[in-house]
Structure 1
Amino acid sequence: MSAELVFAPMQLEDLDAVVASEKESAQFPWSRALFADSLHAGYSSWVLRREGVLIGHAVLLAIMDESHLLVITVRPRWQGQGFGARLLEHVVARARQAAASQMFLEVRASNRVAQALYGKRGFSEIGRRRGYYPDADGLREDAIVMRREL
């Protein structure tokens, strides 16, 4: 990771690249409308770039003393190189700045890589949402609910 990483607030101009990133990274990607709504609502929305190339993005909702990580994505060719951890720590820092004392997230039960990343970064499982996510077979997959004290 010798090239400079740049974290920047997500802008409307970023949405084409963000939506493309979502489509290549997620089986059920967030839509352009969801990202636009998040920006309009003032959610803490971030992009991560390296040498001008979008590597990942995240959207965080901070309300009262809680924060909720709504989406965090690292493009496939950049995964496994520590960028997800850097992006996660960036949004954790933003949640702290917003006076949040804890952060919540949901992750697919089948996404063991993400669960391991969250566990290494201080998140622990606090529950399960049955049938929360759609899956490729038209069925539903559980979400693991995780929390981290900030």
Structure 2
Amino acid sequence: MSESGDVVEALAALHAEAFDAPWSTRAFADLLAGPGVLLEAETDGFVLVQVAADDAEILTLAVRPGARRGGVASRLVAAVTRRVAAAGATRLFLEVAEDNGAARALYDRLGFEPAGRRPRYYARPDGPAVDALLLVLNLPASLPTG
């Protein structure tokens, strides 16, 4: 995918379907214009990753609610993991809300391991903030196959 306006609009629209606090089209345009940012996308989801030296970080992973639990996220993470490893990354990081059981199960299946915690990182409109768990996948581990 290119960084055209249509792509940015599509990413923002899908992100709005997937999250309560979606990112703006401007945020996506700025990210895609940044150094080391990779986009892996399918019709029902996408993942944005940034590579810096030998580290990579999943910035966001969004899957259309109606397509969840269908393997989209696994395929996207597997594909982007191969890409960041090919780009020289030796570790892939991400943050996940402690209360997001489905995402935590996915990352556990893909081989991510705990690396830290950010207390009260995710604000919740209907309750107290939730901790973010920092997870890491050491590369080139046995790469996820999706």
Measured against the shorter chain, the TM-score band is 0.7 to 0.9
Secondary structure at 2:44's aligned position in 1? strand
Change (3 A) 1:38 1:97: same
CA distance in structure 2 between the partners assigned to 1:34 and 1:143 by the alignment: 21
Number of aligned positions between the proteins: 138
**Counterparts of residues 51-90 of structure 1 (less than 5 Å):** 54-90=43-79
CA distance in structure 2 between the partners assigned to 1:12 and 1:65 by the alignment: 30
Amino acid in structure 2 at the alignment position of 1:47: A
**Is 1:110 matched with 2:99?**
yes
Cα distance, 1:45 vs structure 2: 1.9
CA distance in structure 1 between the partners assigned to 2:125 and 2:113 by the alignment: 27
Give 1:131's match in structure 2, choosing from 106, 112, 120. 120
Cα displacement string for residues 92-116 of structure 1 (whole angstroms, at most 9, x for unaligned residues): 0111121000100000111010011
Amino acid in structure 1 at the alignment position of 2:71: G
Correspondence for 1:5: none
Percent of matched pairs sharing the same residue: 32
Question: Which deviates more, 11-20 or 36-45?
Answer: 11-20
TM-score computed with the length of structure 1 as normaliser? 0.86
CA contact (8 A) 2:3 2:29 kept: no
Secondary structure at 1:80's aligned position in 2? coil
Cα distance, 1:10 vs structure 2: 5.3
Q: CA RMSD in A?
A: 1.4
Correspondence for 1:16: 9
Give 1:30's match in structure 2, choosing from 19, 23, 35. 23
CA contact (8 A) 1:10 1:46 kept: no
CA distance in structure 1 between the partners assigned to 2:82 and 2:4 by the alignment: 20
CA distance in structure 1 between the partners assigned to 2:56 and 2:40 by the alignment: 15
Amino acid in structure 2 at the alignment position of 1:71: T
Gaps of 5+ in 2: 140-146
TM-score computed with the length of structure 2 as normaliser? 0.88
CA contact (8 A) 1:108 1:142 kept: yes
**Is 1:45 matched with 2:34?**
no
